[in-house]
């Protein structure tokens, strides 16, 4: 046993463990280090109680992804101009299954964010109960305002670079911000052309070529299933509760649709330009209109205001609206401390995350301090990757399962994940779901890593 490890055993404090595990490789305020430090706070007592985890260096190994693949993407825009973007795939852990996680196309994409998201994905995927490791990738490409032909050329160039690193038993990408079924189609087609194979190398595919029923809906629907499970645990239900939802993409619209179906009231949708407020609630039909129209370059959420009896608030976020539930479903760090204060002052009691990491660290502390019921994304938004896991199973068996069966599977997976989180969440009456998710995911991954020995 090395000297440093011996010291750790004597003084296993959170900050020492984090510093030792990260070995000075991350800037103190980096997104990864902050997240890893919070994670260590949740699992440190488990590690201290299990010498096999310390001996196998589990935390040190989790602090560094298995591999980071960076590459240049070159493509031609509609004017024939050469465009260059930067792409990256972080393969964090394949301890419990092949690397699995989404691809994000957005100007804010950079390696640091992907390192953090890939780490979170490892824990999240473990909660699904399906054999999937964790990864995340993407590019700093902004699809906004790009034509369909430009998006196709970009997707083809992206996968031309990444295809060597992925495969149906190796790493299976899916969608995320800026990457939906259309983009997966372009990338899957290019992979198929280059490798001359037809396999389940990506999920979120079109139904005609190996996609699964309900993958499109699964993340948003799953968020509402998780919300229902949290409320049921308290003897409550959604019934007539109102929600401020951010985003107008895949997760936001399907969470909105399912909430409306479950008797809730959808007060807002949003984008990076502002938010749409519908005081009487958005109907399912109107939500469907957004789902059908949003891929068109001409689509503007703001243009719907009159038609839905709402108002458009340019430059603002939905967190100033009086609501029972806040449901951030757009992007990271979209709720800060001031937004939490405004939500609490306006009567909000619940925050449930459709997006990954939508709360700043200060906002998370404020949510806890205010005693809100809090469903963190790493537990509440597992529906998408869970359905991806079921898509993989269908592809491997060369079968297509019925929507009704998949709907039941999705609900069961979410309810079981909720139970698993509860088991590790401390106080039964005021469960800390984030702690529960971190601990439950960690134990599963750490046990697998321990079984492999040191590698």
Ligand X SMILES: O=C(O)CCC(=O)C(=O)O
Ligand Y SMILES: NC(=O)C1=CN([C@@H]2O[C@H](COP(=O)(O)OP(=O)(O)OC[C@H]3O[C@@H](n4cnc5c(N)ncnc54)[C@H](O)[C@@H]3O)[C@@H](O)[C@H]2O)C=CC1
Contacts to ligand X by CB under 6 A: 100-102, 121, 124, 174, 176, 203, 356, 384-385, 388
Stretch of 31-39, 83-91, 172-180, 336-344 lying at the interface with ligand Y (CB under 6 A): 172-180
Q: Residue 219 annotated as binding? A: yes
30 labeled part of a ligand binding site:
no
Q: Which candidate, 357, 293, 350, places its Cα nearest to that of 329?
A: 357
CB contact at 8 A, 103 and 121: no
- Measured CA to CA, the distance from residue 176 to residue 153 in angstroms comes to 19
Q: Which of residues 203-262 bind ligand Y (CB under 6 A)?
A: 219, 246-252
| 270: contact with ligand Y by CB under 6 A | yes
- Cβ contact 351:323 at 8 Å: no
- Give CA 378 to chain center in angstroms: 7
Q: Is 250 annotated as a binding residue?
A: yes
Which residue, 326 or 330, is less far from ligand Y as judged by CB? Answer: 330
Would you give the end-to-end CA distance of the chain in angstroms? 16
Residue nearest to ligand X (CB): 102
Query: What is the closest distance, in whole angstroms, from the C-beta atom of residue 174 to ligand X in the complex?
Result: 3
Query: Beta strand pairing status for 265-271 and 99-105?
Result: unpaired
Three-state SS for 150?
helix
Please pick, among 136, 205, 257, 378, the residue that the annotation labels catalytic.
136
175 is in an annotated binding site: yes
DSSP 3-state of 266? strand
Q: Which of residues 312-341 bind ligand Y (CB under 6 A)?
A: 329-331, 334
- Considering only 70, 169, 197, 272, the residue that binds ligand Y (CB under 6 A) is 272
| 210 close to 391: Cβ distance less than 8 angstroms | yes
Among residues 101 and 185, whose Cβ is nearest to ligand X?
101
Residues 95-154 that bind ligand Y (CB under 6 A): none
Q: Give the per-residue contact string, 343-362, with ligand Y (x = CB under 6 A; - = no).
A: -----------xxx------
Strands 99-105 and 171-174: parallel
Contact 252, 246 (CB under 8 A): yes
CA separation for the pair 224, 228 (Å, rounded): 6
- Is 375 a binder of ligand Y (CB under 6 A)? no
Q: Give the number of residues in contact with ligand Y, rule: CB under 6 A.
A: 25
- Answer yes or no: is 164 a known binding residue: no
Considering only residues 5 to 64 of the shown chain, the ones binding ligand Y according to CB under 6 A are none
274: left (phi over 0), alpha (psi -120 to 50) or beta: left
Nearer to ligand Y, 228 or 334 (CB): 334
Of 104 and 241, the one with the shorter C-beta distance to ligand X is 104
Task: With CA atoms as reference, report the closest residue to 409 among 382, 377, 442, 376.
Answer: 382
- Regarding 178 and contact with ligand Y (CB under 6 A), the answer is yes
- Residue by residue, DSSP assigns 29-60 as T-HHHHHHHHHHHHHHHHHHH-HHHHHTTHHH
Query: In the complex, which residue's CB is closest to ligand Y?
Result: 249
Decide if 136 is catalytic.
yes
126, interface contact from ligand Y, ligand X, none, CB < 5-8 Å by kind: none
Binding residues for substrate are 100, 121, 124, 175, 388
Q: Could you list the active site residues?
A: 136
| Chain residues in the site for ligand Y (CB under 6 A) | 175-178, 180, 219, 246-252, 270-272, 329-331, 334, 354-356, 381, 384
Q: Specify binding-site residues.
A: 100, 121, 124, 175, 219, 250, 388
């Amino acid at each position: 046993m090395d000297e440093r490890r011996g010291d750790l055993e004597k003084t296993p404090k959170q900050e020492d463990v984090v510093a030792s595990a990260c070995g000075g490789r991350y800037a103190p305020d980096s997104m990864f280090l902050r997240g890893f430090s919070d994670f260590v706070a949740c699992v440190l007592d488990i590690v201290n109680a299990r010498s096999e985890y310390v001996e196998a260096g589990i935390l040190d190994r989790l602090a560094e992804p298995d591999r980071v693949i960076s590459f240049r993407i070159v493509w031609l825009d509609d004017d024939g101009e050469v465009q260059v973007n930067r792409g990256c795939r972080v393969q964090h852990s394949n301890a419990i299954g092949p690397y699995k996680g989404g691809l994000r196309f957005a100007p804010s994409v950079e390696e640091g964010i992907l390192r953090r998201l890939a780490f979170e994905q490892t824990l999240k995927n473990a909660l699904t109960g399906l054999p999937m490791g964790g990864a995340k990738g993407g590019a700093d490409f902004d699809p906004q305002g790009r034509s369909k032909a430009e998006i196709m050329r970009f997707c083809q160039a992206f996968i031309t670079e990444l295809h060597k690193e992925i495969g149906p038993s190796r790493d299976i990408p899916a969608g995320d911000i800026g990457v939906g079924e259309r983009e997966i189609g372009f990338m899957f087609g290019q992979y198929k052309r280059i490798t001359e194979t037809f396999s389940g190398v990506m999920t979120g595919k079109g139904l005609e070529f190996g996609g699964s029923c309900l993958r499109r809906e699964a993340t948003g629907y799953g968020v509402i299933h998780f919300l229902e499970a949290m409320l049921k645990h308290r003897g409550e239900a959604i019934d007539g509760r109102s929600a401020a939802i951010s985003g107008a993409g895949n997760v936001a619209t399907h969470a909105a649709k399912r909430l409306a179906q479950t008797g809730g009231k959808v007060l807002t949708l949003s984008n990076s330009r502002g938010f749409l407020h519908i005081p009487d609630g958005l109907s399912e039909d109107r939500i469907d209109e957004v789902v059908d129209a949003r891929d068109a370059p001409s689509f503007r959420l703001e243009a719907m205001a009159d038609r839905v009896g709402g108002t458009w608030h340019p430059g603002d976020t939905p967190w100033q609206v009086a609501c029972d539930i806040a449901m951030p479903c757009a992007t990271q760090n979209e709720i800060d401390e001031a937004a939490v204060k405004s939500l609490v002052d306006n009567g909000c009691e619940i925050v449930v995350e459709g997006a990954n990491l939508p709360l700043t660290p200060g906002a998370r502390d404020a949510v806890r301090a205010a005693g809100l019921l809090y469903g963190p994304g790493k537990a509440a938004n597992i529906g998408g990757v869970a359905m991806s896991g079921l898509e993989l199973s269908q592809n491997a068996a060369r079968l297509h399962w019925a929507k009704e069966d998949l709907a039941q599977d999705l609900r069961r997976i979410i309810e079981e994940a909720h139970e698993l989180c509860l088991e590790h969440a401390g106080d039964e009456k005021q469960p800390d779901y984030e702690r529960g998710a971190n601990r439950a995911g960690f134990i599963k991954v750490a046990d697998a890593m321990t079984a492999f020995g040191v590698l």
